[in-house]
Every structure is written in structure tokens, then in C-alpha cells.
Amino acid sequence: MDTKTFADLGLSPKVQAAITAAGYPSPTPIQAAAIPVAVTGRDVLGIAQTGTGKTASFVLPMITRLEAGRARARMPRSLILAPTRELAAQVEQSFEKYGINHKLDVALLIGGVSMDEQVKKLDRGVDVLIATPGRLLDHFQRGRIMLMGVEILVIDEADRMLDMGFIPDIEKICRLLPPRRQTLFFSATMPPEITRLVSQFLKDPVRIEVAKPATTAKTITQRFKFCPDGEDYAKREVLRELIRNGNVKNAIIFCNRKRDVAVLYKSLSKHGFNAGALHGDMDQSARMETLDRFRSGEIMLLAASDVAARGLDIPDVSHVFNFDLPWAADDYVHRIGRTGRAGREGYSASLVSAEDLKLLKDIEKITGESAIWLGEAPTEEDYAQGGKRRRGRSGRGNDRASARGGRREGGREGAREARHGHKEGHSPQRAEEAADRNARSRDRSQPVEQNHKPEVREQPRNATHARTSHRHAEHSVEKADRGGSRQGRERNAEVNAKPQRERRPDSWADAPARPEGKKPLDTPRAPQAKPAAQPQSGSKVGFAENIPAFLRKPPRPLKQPPGGR
């Protein structure tokens, strides 16, 4: 671009004075190309790598255009959508810096802070509303904000919005805005979904692309360290060596999971490093405090998840370490873009395990550069096995399921064989031995039919008593057979055919031990008007009366006829 100074970009004198006070002598390429178009009111599609000054590319022309006019209550004049709370707060700081000569009312709608203060600002009227999509829709659905007065819409880090699943929310918000508006759309990459969004909501945009999508800054030295032992404890040891030997002033260390961030932070602190943590489970005040301490130099090492990978303007970060390679190759570009900003020199080092080699190929493809290794490079065999081995607990659930199936089929031996057989792939001979053990286990659970006399029960006195006695009988058999297998439970359905086990007299029961002589079950007994309270000594005791007292149900009280006493 031919323009070299901010005075040639069409900005107002007040804005130029603020830029001079901030100490910025000349615009970056994206600023020089986007600001003159945005000042005229046309839609802009800006594509540039992170750290090139995209925020000022829309903040400066917005301040110039908002000089004329006045905000109304609950009707913001402009709207900026950001994917994360940190990026939204950073945009607010840019308005404070460049709008020092203006009296613009700026409101920040993000999660993790009180909604009451946000509502008070909206009621007074705001010129600039900076929000994350979720919190904005929350306020709109509660009737606290109206969007028909928005003149300028800015969507920042659109590809990050896509990664975080905000595209449906963006579409919903765009439909709530007036069709006659200016839209400024910025993204580092242009995947198909983002291209569809641009064609749907931008009108004849001016496409400004100052660098190849997803390329890294030339001022960043990139290195990779192969870790044959992919366990986390081994990688943490390698990371500590890189930090000790790397002349690190300060560094951001990225992990893929929030729980890994917490573990890494504890490990670094335990080994004497001045470290902090930043991830999505922290509340907003703690996140902002940690970032401020890192910016001021109180914290040397910041373990972070991808919540800190995009848009954060921390000017002087000397090193970036990737404890885990990111799952998406685009995220690698944004992670290492935290160093080497504004023309400074930067250094990035990434730990690569054998299972990460497939991800590394994707990174090499998108950056167009081959990996430069610290120490030994992976072998061809490592590349061949790359992506096939997986750490963590991904396979243990199937092992547990197989073990449970083995227990159902044949006890502990079957469970053990199912578990080891699944994991190690035993030979057919071992599998056959396991089947034999399962069969023996099932045989042990079968009843012994020899030398048992058939069970004799007393005939129930009436139908109700019969059902009650039958339930007591089944419950008693089930209690006695509690430790048995499935076949033991199946025998409960055939009470008449089940052999009676020897019982010791129950000291807590009123019924005496069962006498030796018994009549067969099919001998009927005449019904009696009132059951005996307790069997006499020497009388015939049925199955139901031989149940312990604590298993018996109390007799139901007799129903009183109507008209009572």
C-alpha cells in the first residue's frame, strides 16, 4: 500500500490525536487497507493472520463515524461480537485508548459478571456495545435490549466463532439487526461455513487480504521436540528442560484440556517455577486478574487452554510452548501468534508424541513449512504408527463391559479371561481353557438333586393366605440363595420341585424345628375358620410357618362393617 501514515486514512483529527498520543507512528498493512474503506461506510471482509492489528482496523473508523449522533436507551448504535470474554475486554480497552478525546458510552456484555450493572448501562444508552453472543442473546430474550438501532456490526475472529459453535447464534443476531447497516467481518481463515456466512450477511464487501490464510509470522522461530514416551509426566519433564535451557523471559504454555492446564500449573509450581493458569472453568474476575499479572510480569509462565489462544494482545511474550499439539491445525497458527507480535522476535516449541505425528502433518500442510526438530527426529516407523496409539481411558470402558459380561457368564474366572483376552488377544487354547472354567463355575452353581426329599408345604387356608404364603416362600428361598448364580434364581419359580435344604432352628423364631415325618404336598387339608396362633409341639409344620419371624407380615386387621359398633 502507498499510504504510510494515519493522516492519509481519512480519520478524524480527534482520532489522529489519540493515535499520536498512543505512540503509533504508522499503520500496519491490514490497517492501511481496511480503514479507508470502513470510513466510507462500505462492508469489509478482512483476512489477516493474528497479531497484525485487526482490532484497530475497525475501532478507529468506528470512532470516526460515531462522532455524529447520540445513543438512545437500550438501543446501541454499534455492536461488536467477540468469541471470548478476554477478547471482548481487550476491544473495550482499545476504545478507551483511541476514544480518549470522545465521550462515547461503551458497554461490555460478557458472562461471569453481574447483569445488573450491564442493564444500568444499557438503560442509559450506549454508543458501542461489545458482547459475546451468548450473553447478548440472554439480554435480548429478557427484553433488556433492542437491536433495531445498530448502524455498524463488527464480527471479530469469525473462524474462532465457528470453532466454538457460535455460528447459529451469529445468524440469529444478524436477523435481528436492521438490513441497512455496515458490517465489518474479520477472520484469520476462511473455511466453507464462514464463506457461506459472508455471502449471506455482507453486501458487496471489499475483500482485504494482506497475508496468506493460516500462515505464521516470519519473525517466529518454530521448533518441535519428539517425545517417544507420550505419557504426560514424561512430557512435563521435557518441558521443564526446555524452559531451563531456553533463556525464557515469559511464556504461554498451551494444553488441549482444561484439566491438563490445572495439572501442569501444579507441576510447574511444585518444581519452583513462577506460574499461573488460565482456562474456561475459572470465573471472570480470576481470569482477568491472572492476565493482568502476566502482562505486568508478576507471572513468568502461563499455562492456558485455547481460551487464551486468539485475540489476546500481550505485546512482549518471548516464548510459546505447545504441551499438546492442537487438534485443529488452524489453532496452531493462533497459538504461536501470541509471540513475535508487532515485528518482534518470537520463539515457539511444540512437544510431539508418536500419536501426534498425524496432527503434525496437518500443521506442516497448512503452514507450508517442514518441522525442524530439537534432538532426534521421529523414525519412519514412528510415522507409520502415528495416530494409532491413544493415551487415556478411551479403551477401558470396553474392557469393563467385557469383564461384566464374563462375570454374568461364569464368575470371576470368566471376568478375568474376558478382560485379559480383550486386551491381549489370547490364543484359541487359552480361550478354550477359559470356557472350561466358565462351565465348571456354572456347574458349581447348579443344585445337587441327590439325597434330597421333596418339600412338603401346608395347604393354604384361603386364596389370600395362599398368595401371601407363596410370596413368603419365594422370599425365603431367595434370601437363602443370595450368593448363588442365575440358575439359583430360576429355581425360585419352581418351588414345588426345589429340594429343601437343612435348616438350623432359628432362635428368634417362634416356630420349632421341622419334624422328620412329612406328608406330600397334594394331601388337602380342610380349611379352618381361624388359623392357629402357634403350631403345637409335634404338629405338622408347613413351609410358610417355618419362615423366621422378621420375614413374616403382620396379619391384616379385620374390616369393620358399615355402621360399626
pLDDT, tens only, 29-65: 899 999 999 999 999 999 887 667 889 999 999 999 9
CA nearest neighbour of 472 among 485, 458, 483, 484: 458
CATH of domain 220-385: 3.40.50.300
CB 324, CB 259: distance < 8 Å:
no
Instruction: Give every residue of the chain whose pLDDT is below 50, as ranges.
Output: 1, 389-433, 435, 439, 441-470, 472-485, 488, 495-499, 502-503, 505-511, 513-515, 517-523, 529, 531-532, 535-539
Cβ atoms of 83 and 160 within 8 Å: the answer is yes
What are the helix (H) ranges across 50-191?
54-65, 85-98, 115-124, 133-141, 158-163, 167-176
Query: How do 251-254 and 206-209 pair as beta strands?
Result: unpaired
Question: Which residues does residue 72 pair with via DSSP β-bridges, in sequence order?
Answer: 75
How far is Cα 503 from Cα 231, in angstroms, rounded to an integer?
A: 58
Strands of the sheet with 182-187, listed across from one edge: 106-109, 128-131, 78-81, 152-155, 182-187, 44-47, 206-209
Residue 476: which residues within 8 A CB-CB, separation 6 or more? 547, 548, 551
C-alpha closest to that of 7 among 27, 37, 30, 34: 27
How would you classify the pairing of strands 152-155 and 128-131?
unpaired
Q: Which three cell numbers stand for residue 113?
A: 459478571
Domains 6-209 and 220-385 share a fold: yes
Domain ranges of the chain: 6-209, 220-385, 396-444
For residue 491, the model assigns a pLDDT of 54
For residue range 134-187, list pLDDT tens digits in order.
999 999 999 999 999 999 999 998 988 988 889 999 999 999 999 999 999 998
pTM of the model: 0.56
CATH 3.40.50.300, applies to 6-209: yes
Q: How many whole angstroms separate alpha carbon 135 and alpha carbon 112?
A: 10
Cα dist from 464 to 313, 468, 471, 555, whole Å: 81, 6, 11, 11
